[in-house]
Structure 1
Amino acid sequence: MIETVFRTDDLSAADRFGLWREHMVKALCPMDMSSDHTAGFRADMRLLQLGSVCVWPATVQSVRFRRTAKLIRRSDPELYHLTLPLWGTNGISHVGLETTHGPYDMHVVDSSRPFDIHVLDTTAPVRMVGIEVPKALLPLPPRAVDRLLARRLPVRGGTGALLAGLLTQLVQDTASYGLSDGPRLELVIIDLLSAVLAHHIEADDTLPPEARSRTLTLRIHAFIQHHLHDPGLTPSSIAAAHQISLSYLHRLFRTDGITVSAWIRGQRLERARRDLADPALRNLSAQRIAAHWGFIHYPHFSRAFRTTYGVPPKDYRRQTTRHG
């Protein structure tokens, strides 16, 4: 994970808003920005680069962000931008909707569509966490995601709570993450965001059956990945958690040409492989890494690992350490 920090307190009062505006445009996308506090504007922002995903916690005074059709024609990174407000209010005009969001009302906008966002403080500066995710990385029907733009996405319970919890924990404790954690966190954020959006898409009765099945599959994928550590994770427990029959669960996975158990095993093996190659985890034995990812019997893990990657786990670790 790569972290950069921008604080207006480090600048002269006259330069703060102009340099903040330049920083935001460079970090996110071209936008027009204005504020009633340009004289001595105050803002703090950290930019956490997790592969192709950016997470940026920020504390700002009232400011307005406008992305016009002209700016979109000039440059479009083709991102979905999710905001998790922690304090203050966001007023949004986007895709024909006028909405207002308070603390913990997550919402998404599309960089390819004009938007007008007014971040309002009352008694204290606004605090928020933003995520920038390339649209191509979300395996969801774009027309279905369009239905969620600018809408409130609750964070109480379910995958919304998981995503909000991950973001708040991440931005509170960046010191405990290293450079090699970036790709892992990128995958987790993409999976959870996909699951959050899929949950709300699936609730839309107008969604075609094929899209509903796909979004349910994404929710199940996110659930499995969140519970990979649990040795008791089984097709039956997954079906029960999603209130579907076991036969329907197997049918969803057959569409992708794989069994549920094989998908779980593949995800666990891949997580274990990454940990074995991670220099920061070299003091953990291969047995402990296997157990951490839900493999109760080490010989079974070793055979599955060798079948998948061509070498036993310990040999793989020695090879990656030597070449690293």
Structure 2
Amino acid sequence: MLPMTVFRTADLPRGERFDAWRDCMDRTIAPMEIVCDRPADFTASQHLLRLGPLVAWQTAFRPCHNRRRAVDIRRSDPELYHLTLVLPGSVPLSTEQAGNSGKHHAHDLYVIDTSLPCEVGSPFGDSPLVAIGLEIPKALIPLSPALRRPIDRLLGRRLSGRRGFGLLVAQTLTQLFGEEGGYRPSDSRRLATLLVDLVTGMLAHESESSAGLADESRGRALVLHVREHIRRNLHDPGLSPATVAAAHHLSTRQLHRLFETEEETVAGLIRAGRLDAARRDLTDPAHRAVPAGRVALRWGFTSAAHFSRAFRDAHGVPPGEYRRRALEVAE
């Protein structure tokens, strides 16, 4: 029988359970932000197997929203491919990474890269998320350079666990945690080799299929994902064309080329988005007591003076005057 490590929130005091789960996820995958709707009612269990350099774990827990941010990556990057198999009885979950998104149900698989920002979440509620996770060092996936780029287009997307290599991966992972697995501790490295081969085969197969997508369709979809990424990260003072490109696994030159036919550049979208968000706050009566400088910081401006100049250029008056006029009209 393979040695297994078991984690259960039921073994802990109620007030410590959610924090203990976050620590568990930091150790199992990598540091990330985890949010739950009712931390006081949080429940989770994890059965973990170490297979040489791989880690496989079966889990059931109250749904959360998980977000791995740039700050988390700087803190620690184990350089893993994380694979999830959603099991029957689970709530669906959604993923976003590298401009890709997917919604996953029972028997679906997805892969994320710990070196890139990502979001994974399920609808809050009492029904559990039930899944098997697998952590594989990226260095163990022996793909040719020609296939590594297409893999980025698979990150976060739905992969079927009902056919082909996906079915073989799903069957092997499920059997690992079955009652009649029949494996001995000495089988750990053999199982690791098998799983690496199966996951490599799945990624190679799916990458070859993904590479056949029309370049124009891919480019348009990527533009939409970049726009949404900018909208969701306007508050981050580090948001820039370079960080946007990195989040989508592009060079800055490639990102600028992608937006050559758009009305605004990436830098222009960031600036306009921040100014519009700040303008909305300034004209909201609920925020009348918040200083304009603090509004600027909230939306990613690092200097009140720079914000004031940019706002004046866009609207013809300083932010304080714009706010005064808007609130007078509202009254």
Q: Which runs of 5+ in 1 are unaligned?
A: 208-324
Q: Give the drift of 1:100.
A: 1.5
Q: 2:57 is aligned with what amino acid? A: W
Q: Go from structure 1 to structure 2 and tell me whether the alpha carbon gap of 1:175 and 1:194 turns closer, same or farther (over 3 Å shift).
A: closer
Residue equivalent to 1:170: 176
Q: Go from structure 1 to structure 2 and tell me whether the alpha carbon gap of 1:188 and 1:20 turns closer, same or farther (over 3 Å shift).
A: same
Q: 2:123 is aligned with what amino acid? A: L
Tell me if the contact between 1:89 and 1:121 (Cα under 8 Å) persists in the aligned partners.
no
Residue equivalent to 2:37: 36
Residue equivalent to 1:185: 191
Normalising by structure 2, report the TM-score.
Answer: 0.60
> What per-residue deviation string (whole Å, max 9, x for no partner) do you get for residues 36-60 of structure 1?
1200310000111001111111001
Matched, 1:18 2:24: no
Q: 1:58 is aligned with what amino acid? A: T
From 151, 158, 162, give the equivalent of 1:152: 158
Residue equivalent to 2:99: 96
Alignment of 1:190-209 (within 5 A): 190-206=196-212
C-alpha distance in structure 1 between counterparts of 2:26 and 2:53, whole Å: 17
> What per-residue deviation string (whole Å, max 9, x for no partner) do you get for residues 138-189 of structure 1?
0124212112111111122222111111111111237632210100110110
Q: 1:150 is aligned with what amino acid? A: G
Tell me if the contact between 1:88 and 1:121 (Cα under 8 Å) persists in the aligned partners.
no
C-alpha distance in structure 1 between counterparts of 2:68 and 2:180, whole Å: 30
Tell me if the contact between 1:14 and 1:40 (Cα under 8 Å) persists in the aligned partners.
no
Residue equivalent to 2:120: 117
Q: Give the drift of 1:123.
A: 6.1
Q: 1:76 is aligned with what amino acid? A: D
Larger Rg: 2
Tell me if the contact between 2:100 and 2:154 (Cα under 8 Å) persists in the aligned partners.
no
> What per-residue deviation string (whole Å, max 9, x for no partner) do you get for residues 263-286 of structure 1?
xxxxxxxxxxxxxxxxxxxxxxxx
Residue equivalent to 2:291: none
C-alpha distance in structure 1 between counterparts of 2:210 and 2:29, whole Å: 30
Residue equivalent to 1:79: 80
Q: Give the drift of 1:120.
A: 3.2
Q: Go from structure 1 to structure 2 and tell me whether the alpha carbon gap of 1:144 and 1:174 turns closer, same or farther (over 3 Å shift).
A: farther
| 1:120 aligned counterpart, secondary structure | coil
Q: Which runs of 5+ in 2 are unaligned?
A: 214-331
Q: Give the drift of 1:205.
A: 4.2
Q: 1:50 is aligned with what amino acid? A: L
C-alpha distance in structure 2 between counterparts of 1:119 and 1:19, whole Å: 20
Q: Go from structure 1 to structure 2 and tell me whether the alpha carbon gap of 1:120 and 1:177 turns closer, same or farther (over 3 Å shift).
A: farther
Q: Go from structure 1 to structure 2 and tell me whether the alpha carbon gap of 1:104 and 1:81 turns closer, same or farther (over 3 Å shift).
A: same
Q: Give the drift of 1:206.
A: 4.5
| 1:116 aligned counterpart, secondary structure | strand
C-alpha distance in structure 1 between counterparts of 2:85 and 2:53, whole Å: 19
Number of residues paired by the alignment? Answer: 207
Residue equivalent to 2:70: 69
Q: 1:60 is aligned with what amino acid? A: F
Q: Give the drift of 1:121.
A: 5.9
Tell me if the contact between 1:69 and 1:114 (Cα under 8 Å) persists in the aligned partners.
yes
Residue equivalent to 1:48: 49
Tell me if the contact between 1:80 and 1:111 (Cα under 8 Å) persists in the aligned partners.
yes
C-alpha distance in structure 1 between counterparts of 2:77 and 2:44, whole Å: 25
The alignment's C-alpha RMSD in Å is 1.8
Q: 1:77 is aligned with what amino acid? A: P
Tell me if the contact between 1:37 and 1:62 (Cα under 8 Å) persists in the aligned partners.
no
Normalising by structure 1, report the TM-score.
Answer: 0.61
